[in-house]
């Protein structure tokens, strides 16, 4: 590591420490302590549930990246006072970094290595999180044209370079958010082979756990709803046999209760098909006010539902705000889940993970300060406590 890189890391560490110190006073006055744990998973490792002892996200601290690859950390570190206290509800928590074709084949290895170094901050046992959004074309464009031979070759090179960059890092990978777009592609077989190749390649790394995107509790195929059997078929086409499990709610807003129940049904469908017991992670970054996709209101008349209206009060509905903080303890009574959902969570849910990005325009880019601050004010969940373990 260069002297310049080391200096930058030390500067960021010091800035985060200052941010934490100034945030602590405001946080203590702002949030009901009864809802908050004494520490969070980025401060202290959380044990697995007895029903899920192999959980790879448990028994380790989750790293929090602070640096130029993340759109939140710059504004957070530059803020002060009440604004910083609000942004800390996002900036101090572990988030999943999305990587796609915007990082070139010959740059992804060093880019992810730099990200890992910052997220781990000197502790090689910390968990790092990324989402692989590399398929090209994808989303609506994928419905209209096939991947070219050149794009297919590039995809495999990129995945190989990413795997080399990850190496033996403890890593959580969300594979291809918005997975249900596979169904509309004219070259389903070819894209399925590529996605399976990526899932298998990354799952073969010694400490990487891959969760293949399966849509959300209200979506696993455009125009055809959320049938768990159909969701399971999607996963069977994208390498679920190699993966730890699957991911739900990456871009929707349906919330933990619906996704836990839906995820358990998908697990059962996969079991019946001979795939063993798979596990699920659920995005909770944007489900503080769970809302079905068809009921969500866009932020403006020209906006898509990807850019949902932000909740401005504690009672407003059909809007987006921050949800349950990242945690392994998805069945904790604090989250207000039913006994049945908690029992399912203990068995099948590896964690609530922030791989959604509601503070970004269209959940993509750029960072929108007004969105972030409004969600931080309206979320029903407390900000992070800064008690040292």
- 343 belongs to a structural domain: yes
Calpha distance 320→25 (Å, rounded): 27
- 180 belongs to a structural domain: yes
State which residues form the domain around 85.
Answer: 3-378
Q: Using alpha carbons only, how large is the chain's radius of gyration in Å?
A: 20
Calpha distance 142→151 (Å, rounded): 12
- Residue 386 has a pLDDT of 64
Does residue 353 contact residue 283 with C-beta atoms inside 8 Å? yes
Selection from 221, 214, 220 nearest residue 199 by Cα: 214
- Residue 15 has a pLDDT of 45
DSSP-derived secondary structure letter, 293? G
Calpha distance 228→217 (Å, rounded): 9
**What three-state secondary structure class fits 294?**
helix
- 322 belongs to a structural domain: yes
Q: List, in order, residues 6 or more apart from 78 with CB less than 8 Å away.
A: none
**What three-state secondary structure class fits 343?**
helix
Calpha distance 145→191 (Å, rounded): 12
Q: Is 238 left (phi over 0), alpha (psi -120 to 50) or beta?
A: alpha
- Residue 65 has φ and ψ, to the nearest 5°, of -75, 135
- Residue 384 has a pLDDT of 86
- Residue 388 has a pLDDT of 42
Does residue 229 contact residue 269 with C-beta atoms inside 8 Å? yes
We report the CATH number of the domain holding residue 96 as: 3.20.20.40
Residue whose tokens read 């994208």: 238
Calpha distance 362→367 (Å, rounded): 10
Task: Give the tokens for residue 223.
Answer: 């125009």
Task: Give the tokens for residue 260.
Answer: 């836990």
- Residue 37 has a pLDDT of 58
- Residue 35 has a pLDDT of 53
Calpha distance 327→55 (Å, rounded): 12
DSSP-derived secondary structure letter, 96? P
- Return the bridge partners of 130, or none: 97, 173
**What three-state secondary structure class fits 85?**
helix
- 387 belongs to a structural domain: no
| Cis peptide bond upstream of 137, omega within 30 | yes
Calpha distance 182→33 (Å, rounded): 44
- 342 belongs to a structural domain: yes
Buried b (16+ CB within 10 A) or exposed e, 221-259: beeeebebebbbbbbbbbbbbbbbbbbbbbbbbbbbbbb
- 45 belongs to a structural domain: yes
**pLDDT tens sequence for the chain (389 residues):** 433 333 444 444 444 444 444 444 344 334 443 455 579 999 999 999 999 999 999 999 999 999 999 999 999 999 999 999 999 999 999 999 999 999 999 999 999 999 999 999 999 999 999 999 999 999 999 999 999 999 999 999 999 999 999 999 999 999 999 999 999 999 999 999 999 999 999 999 999 999 999 999 999 999 888 999 999 999 999 999 999 999 999 999 999 999 999 999 999 999 999 999 999 999 999 999 999 999 999 999 999 999 999 999 999 999 999 999 999 999 999 999 999 999 999 999 999 999 999 999 999 999 999 999 999 999 999 888 664 43
Task: Give the tokens for residue 124.
Answer: 């090689």
* CA–CA–CA angle 105, 175, 51 (5° rounding): 145
Residue whose tokens read 């068809």: 294
The count of structural domains within the chain is: 1
């Amino acid at each position: 590591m260069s002297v310049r890189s080391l200096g930058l890391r030390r500067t960021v560490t010091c800035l985060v420490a200052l941010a934490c110190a100034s945030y602590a006073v405001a946080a203590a006055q702002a949030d009901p302590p009864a809802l908050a744990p004494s520490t969070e998973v980025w401060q202290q490792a959380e044990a697995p549930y007895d029903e899920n002892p192999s959980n790879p996200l448990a028994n380790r601290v989750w790293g929090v990246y602070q640096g130029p690859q993340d759109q939140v950390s710059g504004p957070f570190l530059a803020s002060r006072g009440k604004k910083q206290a609000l942004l800390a509800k996002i900036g101090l928590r572990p988030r999943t970094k999305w990587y796609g074709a915007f990082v070139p084949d010959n740059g992804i290895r060093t880019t992810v290595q730099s990200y890992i170094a910052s997220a781990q901050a000197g502790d090689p046992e910390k968990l790092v999180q990324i989402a692989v959004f590399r398929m090209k074309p994808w989303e609506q464009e994928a419905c209209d044209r096939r991947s070219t031979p050149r794009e297919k070759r590039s995809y495999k090179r990129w995945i190989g370079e990413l795997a080399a960059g990850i190496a033996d890092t403890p890593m959580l990978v969300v594979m291809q958010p918005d997975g249900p777009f596979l169904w509309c592609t004219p070259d389903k077989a070819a894209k399925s082979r590529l996605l399976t190749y990526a899932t298998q390649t990354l799952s073969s790394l010694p400490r990487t756990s891959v969760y293949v995107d399966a849509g959300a509790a209200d979506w696993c195929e455009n125009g055809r709803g959320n049938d768990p059997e159909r969701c399971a078929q999607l996963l069977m086409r994208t390498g679920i046999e190699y993966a730890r499990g699957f991911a739900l709610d990456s871009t929707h807003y349906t919330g933990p209760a619906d996704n836990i129940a839906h995820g358990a049904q998908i697990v059962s469908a996969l079991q019946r098909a001979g795939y063993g017991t798979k596990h699920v992670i659920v995005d909770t970054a944007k489900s503080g006010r769970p809302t079905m996709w068809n009921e969500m209101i866009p932020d403006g008349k020209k906006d898509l539902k990807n850019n949902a209206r932000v909740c401005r009060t504690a009672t407003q509905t059909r809007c987006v705000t921050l949800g349950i903080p990242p945690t392994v303890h998805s069945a904790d009574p604090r989250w207000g889940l039913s006994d049945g959902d908690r029992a399912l969570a203990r068995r099948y849910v590896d964690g609530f993970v922030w791989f959604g990005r509601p503070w970004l325009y269209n959940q993509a880019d750029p960072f929108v300060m007004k969105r972030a601050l409004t969600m931080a004010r309206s979320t029903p969940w407390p900000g992070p406590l800064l008690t040292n373990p």
